[in-house]
A and B are shown apart, each in its own frame.
Chain A
Amino acid sequence: MEQNNSLPPFPQGLASPQNVMTPAIYSPMMPYGTGLTPQPVQNTNSLSILEEQQRQQQQQQQQASAQQSGVQSSSGQTPQLYHSQAITTTTALPGNTPLYTTPLTPMTPITPATPASESSGIVPQLQNIVSTVNLGCKLDLKTIALRARNAEYNPKRFAAVIMRIREPRTTALIFSSGKMVCTGAKSEEQSRLAARKYARVVQKLGFPAKFLDFKIQNMVGSCDVKFPIRLEGLVLTHQQFSSYEPELFPGLIYRMIKPRIVLLIFVSGKVVLTGAKVRGEIYEAFENIYPILKGFRKTT
């Protein structure tokens, strides 16, 4: 357990092949293409959420994967883990220099080479995560709506059952095909946990629900650069990426190509980032936009 928690702060994500100081058990070639779906989930049919979590934790301790440990570890450590997690997803691309140091990792004996550009020091906070999962069986929405608590079903208005749970505070849309959408979670782990809880509810109602193909579809993050931004200048110089129609919407819509993220930039300095499939894309997008925004800072 300690091994798990002590190693994540190591910037093993930055472990490019030439970094020989990487601890041996952490392979630099991690499969970050898998997103946030740990492998064992697909095979389980029986769900007992607590047991499942414990099983997963045990498996992750054995598996040399920083991503999973990041997801499952306690929230106290989360800031550092998010950083290292973010780094792992971006070093996959060739020629991509890590844009940020790891300022929040106190236990880092290995100091990574500091990149040329300094980091903004601001970390976007995740506001909403939308995920989907396939319960693998046809569902009778009427039964679910009648017997489950906190469920509403109005077939004339929308063809799905809307269920809510308080912890984690989320909403689920459950369709008769067995597919489910889970929204409102603030982290990947919470989204997964919530989805499992909903699946458990459906299972308890007598349906043979499974937990197949859990996938994070969208992540929304937001942060504040703390200075006013002159949007007219930004829309002029970055025309190909930005659209700004203040009569319709007070924010500038910036469509970043790499990573494929949409940013909503407001005059006050608030930035909303959306369209990410993994957390690292949000961080990368923000680090890309921050120097640009500094250039259009509205000075008094």
Chain B
Amino acid sequence: MSNSAASPMAGGASMAARGCGRATSFVPELQSMMFALGDSRRPLHETAALVEDIVHTQLINMLHQAAEVSLLRGARLITAEDILFLMRKDKKKVRRLLKYMQFRDYKSKLLKMVDDEDPVDSDKYSSGTVNKRKKLFQDFLGSIDQTGEFLSVLEEDDVDEVKQERMERLEKQTRAMDATQYSDFCESRQLSFSKKASKFREWLDCSTLDVKPNAVSMEILSYLAYETVAQIVDLALLVKQDMTPKNGDPFSHAISASFMQYHNSAAECAAACGAETQSSAIQPAHIREAIRRYSHKIGPLSPFSVRNNRAVKELYL
């Protein structure tokens, strides 16, 4: 395929241009993950590089904020509680994280039942570590809960719409696959940051921090990294869908000018590489547009918020 020859070089150029000093790169893993999350069979290298950048920035921000929180507490390690504290405002994300942690607990319990190799795991018969993560969450949320809003997160059992949407999309995607494609797909789905824990740790580069994260918080961070990739892909797919010209769309003439600019650059990219499959993969342009929309605060007071205020921006930049 012509695009696969073009894209590594293009990707390499853009990587050098960005001047990343990181030794480890998750780009090939990210390409697999994006395929597993709904992108085309071979996601573009530039797209994966851009996603890596975004995820890395987000995680470093989160790590620094968590380090501040744990310093406030006077602790020596960043724990799960610190990260939970940062996330407390967003109920849906907390619930998704909780469900994930519950699954982890449940899986370790199950596997101990099923695997018989070493019946004496140091924690096997002690009930202290059964559901340890869930207990951690419960205790912490209980301690910071003033109005009962956090503990309600633990009880709620509503359907997670985002997850539902993802499941439906993947189901549709897999229906069309044949057996070999499907087994590839399943393998890609199994990739995660937690599988490559040491590489992930290196990639995060915690050496500049005063406090380091402990094991459970590393689990949470690798989950958050994966969630970020999933969200980016979700939004980028939405953007891609918006960009495809639909017949009979009443709003097609009302799309903003900046949007058209992105659209044109995407079209140029496609024209330059000229391969058909290029058009079905997510472009970096889609991702940039998705991020722009996500960070664009829409609301009654948004013109006065610090981010959008041009005067404030001029002050600081």
Contacts and interface: CB of A to CB of B under 8 A. Distances in A.
Interface of A: 127-128, 130, 157-158, 160, 162, 171, 173, 181, 183-184, 218, 220, 228, 230-233, 235-236, 243, 245-250, 253, 262, 264, 267, 272, 274-275, 298-300
Contacts of A299: 179
A235 B167 contact: yes
Nearest to B188: A246
Interface of B: 36, 100, 103-104, 106-107, 110, 113-114, 116, 119-120, 122, 125, 167-168, 170-171, 173-175, 178-179, 182-183, 186, 189-192, 194-195, 226
Specify the main secondary structure of chain B where it touches its partner: helix
A236 B168 contact: yes
Contact of B114 (A160, A230, A246, A272): A272
Given A158-B122, A246-B189, A253-B106, A220 B114 contact: yes
11 contacts: A184-B116, A232-B173, A232-B174, A233-B171, A246-B186, A246-B189, A247-B194, A247-B226, A248-B103, A248-B107, A267-B182
A274 B182 contact: no
B120 A158 contact: yes
A232 B107 contact: no
B131 to A, nearest CB: 15
A228 B122 contact: no
Contact of A247 (B106, B168, B183, B192): B192
A232 B122 contact: no
Contact of A236 (B171, B179, B195): B171
Nearest to A228: B179
A230 B174 contact: yes
Contact of B120 (A128, A173, A267): A173
A253 B182 contact: no
A173 B183 CA distance: 40
Contacts of A248: 100, 103-104, 107, 192, 194
Nearest to A175: B125
B113 A220 contact: yes
Given A158-B120, A246-B36, A250-B186, 12 more contacts: A128-B114, A228-B182, A228-B183, A230-B174, A232-B171, A232-B173, A236-B171, A247-B190, A247-B226, A248-B103, A248-B104, A300-B178
